[in-house]
Structure 1
């Protein structure tokens, strides 16, 4: 039996990149997948078509998760599509602008925090309500980042939001555990994407020299971690941050 057979999952920000990799891995392991996107509607439809090509079920749901009401709507629609069930939520949707603190405004700050953190709070709260009503338990996985503990220049709002995401998961694990709902985070390192090596060649070269496993991450690597955390194999894992970074965090900084 596949690891997620019979599950209904919502993956936010699944139109491309890491979200796409998560959605496809979930489908390969038997989950029906609600593919969320904000603006990338055609790529999300492509992901849904790939899921169906694997013999799975998929639906595309569009919403701006910086809006709390939209978070609740998309969770509700995913559960209705799933026949009243939602067994897994992956909070992947995020933005990562590059901006120095010196010129950052409160509006700039809130745009990142609302998308990366407040959406996690609202989607999780809504999903847990569905899971509690069904009484089946479930899993919630937030996509954090190694920048939650190792900040990068011009990423202060992003780093702060991801650090908060890690602590939200630990707090939620504490409060929701009695309902059989597990909450964890996955913290990726540098994940390859189209155009990355051309747009940031010096950074990619530095990473490949430094990382013990000798390569950039792939979206599927994060998908595999999320499958594990949503599966029965992780039935006693909650409040945990699973770092998936090729070993870069193990390198000394001196």
Structure 2
């Protein structure tokens, strides 16, 4: 049983926006933020959000649409008056051979996983600058930004762009007290994963030093840390959360 982040890190009263909150990882991030006392604004495009403990406000928007990012920022400020942190988690992970990738598949990936995060970062950072209180922004990237797989070339490219985007945004917004970092998860467990991809799970388990798959809460705890004052002098960093798999490139 892992400790609640509320036992270690206190985000009481902090307003935290989490995108893609209807997915497995997004749900884990929301739960850990709420457990730490944050006032969570949980974004989803269509998937329902599981309501756990804490105060969670649901916002629905398509972040690839022109007014999507602004709608999320406006909803958070209307509900709570400010934004203290943003976790850019929303994304897609379709499978397609890189050699046969169509322009449409490429554009959908970049628009959803990179451009939407850029636009929401701009809108959120501008709001934080106007508040004059600084803030924290976290991108959820992937270890595939460093270690691509054959059918995830466009996904890996977008996630690598997200890691660099965090560094560039950290440089740009740092003078306003806004920190920007990324978290790169490894293979995160979900219901049915072992049935859907048994060979992949088997390879992972044979190679990962810490001996297990990741959980959504593992990612959530990393995001809680980066959004807290414990990370007050950390910006432009990529926190790998993978059980040590990148130490063993054979998986």
Task: Calculate the TM-score normalised by the size of structure 2.
Answer: 0.94
Secondary structure in 1 matching 2:179:
strand
- Tell me whether 1:111 sits opposite 2:90 in the alignment: no
Aligned partners of 1:75 and 1:110: how far apart in 2? Answer: 25
Which residue of 39, 44, 50 corresponds with 1:32?
Answer: 39
* Cα distance between partner residues in 1 of 2:144 and 2:120: 22
Say yes or no: does 1:100 pair with 2:100. no
Paired residue for 2:21?
14
How many Å separate the matches in 2 of 1:85 and 1:93?
21
Give 1:155-170 correspondences, 5 Å limit.
Answer: 155-170=152-167
Q: Does residue 55 of structure 2 align to residue 72 of structure 1?
A: no
RMSD over equivalenced CA pairs, Å: 1.3
**Is the contact between residue 18 and residue 41 of structure 2 (CA under 8 Å) also seen in structure 1?**
yes
Is this contact kept in 1: 2:138–2:180, CA < 8 A?
A: yes
Q: Structure 1: which 4+ aligned runs deviate by more than 3 Å?
A: none
Mapped partners of 1:236, 1:216: distance in 2:
30
What are structure 2's unaligned runs of at least 5 residues? 1-5
User: In the alignment, is the contact (CA less than 8 A) between 2:207 and 2:250 conserved in 1?
Assistant: no
1:68 CA displacement: 3.1
1-side partners of 2:99 and 2:168: how far apart? 32
Kindly indicate whether residue 121 of structure 2 is the aligned counterpart of residue 127 of structure 1: no
Q: What's the CA shift string for 1:132-154, capped at 9, x where partnerless?
A: 11111100000000000110111
Task: Label 1:17 to 1:106 Cα distance change in 2 as closer, same or farther (>3 A).
Answer: same
Contact persistence 1:191–1:216 (CA under 8 A)? yes
Residue of structure 1 equivalent to 2:168: 171
Looking at structure 1, the residues matched to 34 and 72 of structure 2 have their Cα atoms a distance apart, in angstroms, of 19
> How many angstroms apart in 2 are the aligned matches of 1:80 and 1:124?
18
CA distance in 1, matches of 2:242, 2:71: 33
TM-score (norm: length of structure 1): 0.93
Q: How many residues align?
A: 244
Q: Match for 1:209 among 199, 206, 218? A: 206
- Which structure 1 residue ranges, 5 or more long, are not aligned? none
C-alpha distance in 2 between matches for 1:114 and 1:252: 29
Q: Deviations over 1:159-187 (max 9, x none)?
A: 11000000000000011111110000000
Alignment match, 2:180: 183
> How big is the shift at 1:253?
4.7
Work out the CA distance in 2 between the residues paired with 1:250 and 1:105.
Answer: 33
Is the counterpart of residue 139 in structure 1 residue 123 in structure 2? no
